[in-house]
Structure 1
């Protein structure tokens, strides 16, 4: 059994291939030329030890074997001219099978002395995975603490950007973008408008606030009503965020009725607290300049310091103006499933918060064409809820997609799946399915699925036979 688990940490790059002999590398280099269709006439000159390369473009997509990849540090210039991905920079955290399914892009954009290079990408019917390199050509504004803040990737309904590798010698960060949704176009663009640096984390922060005492002195909680369709709501979070966002209206605390400072945290204060609609609301105002970009969340522990599993949602709303531009998310309100003061007697309010030192803006954008990866297997199943839900299943290199009317009624945690390969081994996902669009759910695999080797899958105890589409 193979248990698939996503890598969370940023992996520093090392220097691969130091132990190879010149003969090894010459042979690998030859394989690389053959694979990418590069006609090379290499003649060693005893005086200057130079190599002359004669190139021609090949219109088809290139898939490079792992042996050839090792030589890319030698022929980076030739590879760039060919439109082949410079895989030497991302080899350290991507396996060979993942690299083999990436389509080369090699589009660059430069602004503020920082270069963005879109290296390669791959997409199936509902998910696109894109790898982008950011390199500072002048200063030290790209480092291991980089967090992409304002960005856009065309296509799909949800997006995610994550730093997956940083090379301090090259001052280069590798960002992975995930785009999810049913309607994905062949023409895609990646745009970054800002990023943050210098993350400082306060984990298990003790607020020191006696909530029972504070709330017992509060006379009456006044609230305002927000319309998700009309008012300035810039974000939702928590376990029931989707359900909360679909409500006709939502009640929030009246703004700035209190001013409770948190020791050691100077970028925000608690601006109100109280019970609304049978739930505990805690409202914060990130009033510092960097407070607009800092983030975090509250949670509760018992008197022994053990974290309590209390459901929580959040809503970001309000707006502020800076430099003539209006921004959303002036207030953040946390909503806990706590209905009475008595429940707070032995609970302590704590939090995990992240603040930043620097905010970098610019305009980096690349546009490219990306065809869908056609490698997949399909199957059908019927899931039982209050009614039977007929589900179409697609297994691709990137994950497993479930499609069908009513599929979004199923709680992702209630789906149990396991993929079985021809050799008898299996892949057991550790992460859950995600609701990514109407009537569409997906499990995204952190490792490339060997589609041709998948025999069948088990879904909630039901064996699903798979076939080529």
Structure 2
């Protein structure tokens, strides 16, 4: 990339991106500071530094992906990413490892997924936690959807993978794999206007789950040990397709609301229920538990548990936040590249 290209690129950077880069350089990443950017030499030098440090690491990449990387990922990540440009195809989807770096127990992999023969991929596409790298140790990982190009039908993602116990990622090669993707995701945040909160059982029938998959919340650990689920009483209310409220009741003084998320192994349908009054004050659950009651673990439920002590529930409306999907894409995408290409 020439100095002229860099100069032209900087002239097109919006104030928002300049602010973000400047915030990072002065040690305030994650804290947005709003100010008017003056054409000071120091500010221009800061942006020039970030951009020029990012470009060599991605010299093999096209201009546009490198330009987008500057604004879509942390400048520190952009500085370390090294070109890979290796791809594979399956089920009409082309996966490409654009760039990556591996350092100690951490790997960052910037990839793209392009639909080459249909319309399966869109701006909502995610990798459904089905990605991995070859490693003999347990890992934690995350996937960030960076962008979607409607013209090329290409989605880009940043994958972050960390070895537990800080074990180094070792070997001569690294293999990145993906098995599934979800698309056509819909997001809802809505009042549950047809949910009758005046007809909640004070003595509901309960059952023992066949399996508890997990949960969260401040009281989850104490709830899990003695958890008995509400017995499903049929569909009380279906706020959106694929989401059914199947039971409500008070157990040991706490309100339990049970939701069945349809076909979660293929849709990843999920969400939560909360309460809000006219002043905007919210009540969220103290714990939620995901479980099954059938031997095949196919029927998945989540039970939300609320401590309503000193709360007048009649002053609140019930709300639901839900995410659903109806397009599961399966395949066997695998890219292997030499570790020395991306190691420091």
Q: Normalization by structure 2: what TM-score?
A: 0.70
Structure 2 counterpart of 1:331, from 277, 280, 301: 301
Q: How far is 1:121 from its partner?
A: 2.6
Please list every run of 5 or more consecutive structure 2 residues that lacks an aligned counterpart in the other structure.
1-25, 33-51
Q: Indicate the residue corresponding to 1:143 in structure 2.
A: 122
Q: 1:317 aligns with which of 284, 287, 291?
A: 291
Report the equivalent of 1:251: 227
SS in 1 for 2:151: coil
- Whole-Å separation in 1 of the counterparts to 2:81 and 2:150: 25
1:355 counterpart = 2:329: no
1:370-391 CA-to-partner distances (Å, cap 9, x unmatched) read 57977xxxxxxxxxxxxxxxxx
Partner SS, residue 199 of structure 2: helix
Give the aligned partner of residue 98 of structure 2: 119
Given candidates 344, 349, 359, the residue that maps to 2:313 is: 344
- Contact 2:204 2:231 (8 Å CA) reproduced: no
Give the equivalent residue in structure 2 for 1:214.
199
Distance change >3 Å, CA 4–CA 284, structure 1 → 2 = same
- Whether 1:152 aligns to 2:131 is yes
Report how many aligned residue pairs link the two structures.
Answer: 292
How many angstroms apart in 2 are the aligned matches of 1:234 and 1:164? 30
Paired residues of 1:69 and 1:88 also in contact (CA < 8 A):
no
2:18 paired residue number:
none
Q: Which structure has greater helix proportion?
A: 2
> In 2, distance between residues paired with 1:101 and 1:320?
48
- Conservation of the 8 A alpha-carbon contact between 1:298 and 1:349: yes
1:234-276, Cα deviation, whole Å (9 max, x unpaired)? 34234555x469x5x241323312420235x132221111233
User: d(CA) in 2 for partners of 1:298 and 1:343?
Assistant: 17
CA distance in 1, matches of 2:109, 2:147: 14
Corresponding residue for residue 261 of structure 1 = 237
* Pairwise CA distance, 1:177: 1.7
Q: Indicate the SS of the match to 1:148.
A: coil
1:177 corresponds to which residue? 159
Separation in structure 2 between the aligned mates of residue 291 and residue 298 of structure 1, nearest angstrom: 22
What displacement does 1:91 show? 4.8
Taking only aligned residues, the RMSD between alpha carbons, in angstroms, comes to 3.7
1:38-117 pair list within 5 angstroms: 65-66=53-54, 68=56, 72=60, 87=66, 90-91=69-70, 93-94=72-73, 97-117=76-96
The answer to whether the 8 A contact 2:269-2:324 is kept is yes
Larger Rg: 1
TM-score normalized by the length of structure 1: 0.53
- CA positional deviation for 1:173: 0.9
The equivalent residue for 1:3 is: 28
